[in-house]
Amino acid sequence: MAEIVLDKVSKQYPDGALAVSDVDLTIADGEFIILVGPSGCGKSTTLNMIAGLEDITSGELRIDGERVNERAPKDRDIAMVFQSYALYPHMTVRENMAFPLRLAKVDDKTVRAKVDEAARILDLTQHLDRRPSNLSGGQRQRVAMGRAIVRDPKAFLMDEPLSNLDAKLRVQMRTSVAKIQKKLGTTTVYVTHDQTEAMTLGDRVVVMRGGLVQQIGSPQFLYEQPVNLFVAGFIGSPSMNFVPARLENSSVSSPLGNFPLTDRIRTLLEDADAPREVIMGLRPEHFEDATLLDDTAMSGGATFESTVDVLESMGSDKFAYFTLEGEMATSAELEELAADAGASDLSADGTQIITRLSASSQAKEGHPARIWFDTDKIHLFDPHNGRNFTYAD
């Protein structure tokens, strides 16, 4: 167990690519920290630098207060779980898990005891004498975990450990990863692409983009107070809706209609010295079917009317999709997010809006619906640098 400190850590690859720049991060002892970001943003590079598999170009990495930049991976006492599991195919499950202990010259009896213990935790006992090639994906994943936990390292590093599993298994393994980490209390750095993993697993989440840290905080805080457009769009699934908006005195005009700013937001905007053209963001759950609300509930927001494109009933609630007339919100961040999501939102004739309505909503596909939204929950962003004017920490 250990505290890991990244102090202005940067990585430049020999070909000149700056993969990670000036990352400052203090990971507390026993903390579970998540690195997220779009493909190529430097998550694996950061992890590999902590592991010692990549050299650190500049900055300092400290484990328990000691500089470890120059130490080989084996001298850092850190275990890693790879996306591909990287199990040794010529060894049985038992030998795979025992490998780190054997290298550490632990005596046979202890090795046996530790491997058996790890196998019990991971439910692998009956597979100990099989080879990785005969195991299912989930079992292989657990062997990889087992190899990491047997030797009680100072920290676990995991690079998208669940991304090769099918959806159901991923949910199962996600819970076991969380449980095991809680039980062992080992400092863990976990790289993921998956929204749910990012939101549910970690104590804190680090959002990265193009090698730069965008924001660090608890999942809930990032969700409610994204520091910029990128974080706002990246965290949350389905993601935040973005529309172009215009600020006029103390009201907003947008494809969702014109409405007055709430006092809270007006104060924040005055402090931030916002321009007139902004991007407005609003999460799907801050919409509701207006017919379900009484007047007092409606008073805290505004309404708009549009035709439901698609309606997806999830049982617990309904997702209604709308296309709003007018221009789409554009910015570099939004383009990058769309590219990462693989979404070719080329329905160019307007802005797509996703709303989450109560299950009791009577909205129907192809029919107009009147939708209310909470005007105090809007975020307003600078279209040029993505800054969130409504951010208050």
Partner 1 sequence: MAAMTTGAKARWTLLDIIVVIYALVPVLWIVSLSFKTPATLTDGNFIPREWTLQNYADIFSTTTFLRALGNSIGIALISTLIAVVLGTMAAYAIARLEFPGKRALVGVSLLIAMFPQVSLVSPLFEMERSLGLFDTWPGLILPYITFALPLAIYTLSAFFREIPWELEKAAKMDGATPAQAFRRVIAPLAAPGVFTTAILVFIFCWNDFLFAISLTSTEASRTVPAALSFFTGSSQFEDPTGTISAAAVVITIPIIVFVLFFQRRIVAGLTSGAVKG
Q: What is the C-alpha separation between 382 and 331, in angstroms, rounded?
A: 9
Choosing from 44, 187, 239, 361, the residue that interacts with Mg ion (CB under 5 A) is 44
Complex with partner 1: residue 72 or 348, whichever CB lies closer: 72
Measured distance between the N- and C-terminal CA atoms of the chain, rounded to whole angstroms: 30
**x/- track of binding to partner 1 for residues 73-112 (CB under 8 A):** xx---xxx-x-xxxxxxx--------xx--xx--------
Say whether residue 147 binds partner 1 (CB under 8 A).
Answer: yes
Contact 355, 314 (CB under 8 A): no
Say whether residue 43 binds ligand ATP (CB under 6 A).
Answer: yes
Q: What is the C-alpha separation between 213 and 36, in angstroms, rounded?
A: 10
Q: How far is the CB of 90 from partner 1 (least distance, A)?
A: 5
Say whether residue 36 binds ligand ATP (CB under 6 A).
Answer: no
Say whether residue 45 binds Mg ion (CB under 5 A).
Answer: no
In the structure encoding, which two tokens stand for residue 32, read together?
Answer: 């579970």
Contact 66, 8 (CB under 8 A): no
Complex with ligand ATP: residue 20 or 256, whichever CB lies closer: 20
Q: How far is the CB of 192 from ligand ATP (least distance, A)?
A: 9
Complex with ligand ATP: residue 49 or 227, whichever CB lies closer: 49
Q: What is the C-alpha separation between 186 and 174, in angstroms, rounded?
A: 16
Complex with ligand ATP: residue 285 or 340, whichever CB lies closer: 340
Say whether residue 133 binds partner 1 (CB under 8 A).
Answer: yes
Helices H / strands E in the chain, number of each: 11, 20
Residue type, 117: E
Q: How far is the CB of 244 from ligand ATP (least distance, A)?
A: 30
Q: What is the C-alpha separation between 87 and 70, in angstroms, rounded?
A: 27
DSSP H/E element including 242: strand 241-248
Q: Rg of the Cα trace of the chain?
A: 24
Which parts of 174-203 interact with ligand ATP (CB under 6 A)? 193
Choosing from 8, 24, 39, 60, the residue that interacts with ligand ATP (CB under 6 A) is 39
Choosing from 58, 134, 237, 291, the residue that interacts with partner 1 (CB under 8 A) is 134
Pick the piece of the chain touching ligand ATP (CB under 6 A) from 34-42, 64-72, 116-124, 215-223. Answer: 34-42
Choosing from 25, 41, 222, 282, the residue that interacts with ligand ATP (CB under 6 A) is 41
Say whether residue 40 binds ligand ATP (CB under 6 A).
Answer: yes
Residue type, 363: A
Choosing from 2, 10, 33, 45, the residue that interacts with ligand ATP (CB under 6 A) is 45
Contact 36, 190 (CB under 8 A): no
Picked from partner 1, Mg ion, ligand ATP, none, the partner binding residue 349 (CB below 5 to 8 A depending on kind) is none
Pick the piece of the chain touching ligand ATP (CB under 6 A) from 2-10, 42-50, 257-265, 322-330. Answer: 42-50
Complex with Mg ion: residue 44 or 139, whichever CB lies closer: 44
Contact 229, 243 (CB under 8 A): no
The 10 Å Cβ neighbour count of residue 292 is: 14
Picked from ligand ATP, Mg ion, partner 1, none, the partner binding residue 164 (CB below 5 to 8 A depending on kind) is partner 1
Complex with ligand ATP: residue 12 or 92, whichever CB lies closer: 12
In the structure encoding, which two tokens stand for residue 218, read together?
Answer: 């608890």
Complex with ligand ATP: residue 160 or 288, whichever CB lies closer: 160
Parallel, antiparallel, or unpaired: how do β-strands 66-67 and 18-27 relate? unpaired
Q: Quick one: three-class SS letters along 303-372?
A: EEEEEEEEEEECCCEEEEEEEECCCCCCCHHHHHHHHHHCCCCCCCCCEEEEEEEECCCCCCCCCEEEEE
Contact 17, 189 (CB under 8 A): no
Pick the piece of the chain touching ligand ATP (CB under 6 A) from 13-21, 225-233, 326-334, 343-351. Answer: 13-21
Q: Which of 180, 172, 123 is nearest to 148 (CA)?
A: 180
Q: How far is the CB of 207 from ligand ATP (least distance, A)?
A: 12
Q: What is the DSSP letter of 387?
A: B
The residues of the shown chain that bind partner 1, judged by CB under 8 A, are 51-53, 72-74, 78-80, 82, 84-90, 99-100, 103-104, 131-135, 137, 140, 147, 151, 164
Binding residues for ligand ATP, per CB under 6 A?
13, 15, 17, 19, 37, 39-45, 193
Task: Please give the residue ranges that form the binding site for Mg ion (CB under 5 A).
Answer: 44
